[in-house]
Structure 1
């Protein structure tokens, strides 16, 4: 740990990715994956059924047009399954570690001294919350989420992960809606969020979600939010939005586009249907 400008030390995270991967590999933590296991199971079953139907049609000498349709569907299902499995392996904390790299970008762009309380909005399985707790050993951390079984995340899972990482004495997880945070104005010294705002169904205006996240940060507090900010259908002109936030009183704010490239995502993942248009807005309120 090093001392910077009289601030509390920030833990060196270079070795954390390896330790995180080892804990995931051995089953001591479960941080999930952006390609959920349930989705992969569904695709495997669908592919298996299509293969079985195709085999039966071949045995029965079915109509050539029917065979062609089923054959194409089978190939598409197998191709999609294979592609998503490659993505899943690249994202995995104990594989290609791309999820961890994206989380680290959020932390690296958080200009916080580690004093006080941090809120992680949409914490999922708790990976980013815990990464922040490991990075800033002097702070306290709250992760909120509306845990959804389709993502294979749960509050109990977050709490288990925090215990495994030995930060459970400084971390809490609560149920909450990113559109209406249950906290007064300026309640937190820092806030982070990672690929959450575009998934919130209770608020179609994604800019409103950013403003709500900033509302609970105290004046002078730090923030680092990563989302699909490059998608104009979600956020419009980001440079204009950033200027609006400045005009609204945010003292320091910067937009970093194409963070999927910064994190090292390969070209076959940097696609419109997977991970293209990511970005970070960060600064001090």
Structure 2
């Protein structure tokens, strides 16, 4: 992430937006079960909310420094330094997997598709994959100058999730964002 992005994502206002809007909107009517995985928590604003929603939370963070910081910040969370497209986790291990505003940081559509397939692999049958990401805007482009930005098209996401093995797919667009939900058969 570039400096602008780091400043925004580590701010109190971002944490408040995550707590008051993003997670409630994204996870409305979603049962996360007892054992949940979060992919790409970054600075931990989403983790801070999720930790109170599930009995057992595991997070996977690709950035080594962020993984260390998250491990120190959340002693009751299992923190794994790893790549969401190559999860170092067993098959059928989680009731749910979430990710919030991180898919556009995955460096290619092929890697995003691998992340979707890996997510399906680590979910238990009947498990849910839920998350949200941003849509393109001028502000979004400015925040991502000199940063990885591979935007997911919400119109193509259902087919991509289906190809990864998911069913019961819902994609809900909103101004500047979209949420998605899918289930492992």
Normalising by structure 2, report the TM-score.
0.72
Aligned to 1:157: 69
Aligned with residue 5 of structure 2, among 11, 35, 38 = 35
| Residue correspondences, number | 168
Structure number with higher strand proportion: 2
2:148 counterpart of 1:242: no
**Aligned residues of 1:109 and 1:224 also touching (Cα < 8 A):** no
Aligned to 1:61: none
Aligned to 2:142: none
2:170 counterpart of 1:281: no
Aligned to 2:23: 103
Change (3 A) 1:230 1:215: farther
Pick 1 or 2: higher relative contact order, CA cutoff 8 A, min separation 6: 2
Change (3 A) 1:157 1:189: same
**Aligned residues of 2:15 and 2:45 also touching (Cα < 8 A):** no
Structure number with higher helix proportion: 1
Aligned with residue 105 of structure 2, among 199, 205, 214 = 199
Change (3 A) 1:257 1:211: farther
Residue-by-residue CA offset, 1:150-180 (whole Å, 9 max, x unaligned): xxx6233213332xxxxx33x1111001111
Unaligned runs of 5+ in 2: 138-149
User: Is the radius of gyration larger for structure 1 or structure 2?
Assistant: 1
Whole-Å separation in 2 of the counterparts to 1:215 and 1:207: 12
Aligned to 1:5: none
Give the CA deviation at 1:182.
1.0
Whole-Å separation in 1 of the counterparts to 2:15 and 2:56: 30
Give the CA deviation at 1:243.
4.4
Normalising by structure 1, report the TM-score.
0.50
Aligned to 2:11: 92
Q: Provide the alpha-carbon RMSD of the alignment.
A: 3.2
Alignment of 1:145-184 (within 5 A): 145-147=61-63, 154-162=66-74, 168-169=75-76, 171-184=77-90
Change (3 A) 1:108 1:230: farther
Q: Secondary structure at the match of 2:87?
A: coil
**Aligned residues of 1:207 and 1:235 also touching (Cα < 8 A):** no
Q: Secondary structure at the match of 2:22?
A: helix
**Aligned residues of 2:170 and 2:180 also touching (Cα < 8 A):** yes
